[in-house]
Amino acid sequence: MATYVLVHGGFVGGWYWSEVAARLKKVGHRVEVIEQLPSAGTDPTALGDLAADADVVKQAVDRIGGPVVLVGHSYGGMVITELADHPAVAHSVYLAAFWPQRGQSAMDLLAAGPPPTWMSPHDDGTLRTTDDLALLRQTLCADVDEQRAYADLRRFLPQSISSATAPSTAPDRGHPTTYVICEQDQALPSAVQEQMATSADHRHRLPSSHQPMASMPDMLADILGRVRVQALT
Blockwise average pLDDT, block size 10, the chain, 233 residues: 96 98 96 98 97 98 94 98 96 98 96 90 97 97 97 98 98 95 96 96 97 98 80 46
pLDDT of 68 reads 96
* Side-chain-side CA neighbours of residue 46 (13 Å): 7
pLDDT of 232 reads 47
CATH numbers and ranges of domains, the chain:
3-226 (3.40.50.1820)
**C-alpha distances out from residue 64 to 30, 131, 141, Å:** 10, 39, 32
> Which pLDDT tens digit goes with each residue over 109-150?
998 888 899 999 999 999 999 999 999 999 999 999 999 999
Pick the closest to residue 15 from 35, 30, 29 (CA basis): 35
Q: Is 25 exposed, middle or buried (0-12, 13-18, 19+ CB in 10 A)?
A: middle
Could you tell me the strand order of the sheet in which 159-160 lies? 119-121, 126-129, 159-160
pLDDT of 228 reads 59
Q: Determine the 3-state secondary structure of 143 from DSSP.
A: coil
DSSP state at residue 111: T
